[in-house]
């Protein structure tokens, strides 16, 4: 679902200043977002969530857990994205054959 972010923040430490540690022992970043409809949600921070700014509209999955809301970033179907890119670039959907040519010393 697409939602508009009113406020976004990232935390690497808990309330006591201790680093956030996952069950597997690795540190992680928590992303907190306030949504336009008044809900607040949290999820794992990532390279993608770090690009989010206040006012952005993002495509996420929301799930209610008791009184809290959690979000996750939707998975990307790479195969269909590549097919769309190939269609846009090559027009007929067929990728031209790629040939490799070994450079010779004369090229330098």
Q: Is 33 within 8 Å of 7 (Cβ atoms)? A: yes
What pLDDT was estimated at residue 63?
Answer: 96
**Total-model pTM:** 0.67
Q: How many residues does the chain have?
A: 108
- Per DSSP, 50 falls in state G
What pLDDT was estimated at residue 20?
Answer: 96
What pLDDT was estimated at residue 86?
Answer: 84
What pLDDT was estimated at residue 93?
Answer: 54
What pLDDT was estimated at residue 85?
Answer: 86
What pLDDT was estimated at residue 47?
Answer: 92
Domains parsed from the chain with CATH numbers: 2-73 (2.40.50)
Residue 19 corresponds to which tokens in the numbers above?
Answer: 């680093």
* 3-class DSSP state of 83: helix
What pLDDT was estimated at residue 53?
Answer: 96
Point out the residues of the chain with pLDDT beneath 50.
none
What pLDDT was estimated at residue 80?
Answer: 83
What pLDDT was estimated at residue 87?
Answer: 85
């Amino acid at each position: 679902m697409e939602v508009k972010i009113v406020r976004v923040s990232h935390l690497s430490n808990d309330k006591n200043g201790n680093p956030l540690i996952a069950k597997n022992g690795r540190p992680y970043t928590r992303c907190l977002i306030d949504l336009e409809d008044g809900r607040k949600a949290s999820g794992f921070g990532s390279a993608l969530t770090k690009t989010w700014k206040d006012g952005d509209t993002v495509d996420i999955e929301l799930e209610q857990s008791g009184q809290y809301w959690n979000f996750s970033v939707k998975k990307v179907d790479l195969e269909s994205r590549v097919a769309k890119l190939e269609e846009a670039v090559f027009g007929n959907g067929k990728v031209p054959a790629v040939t490799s040519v070994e450079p010779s010393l004369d090229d330098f």
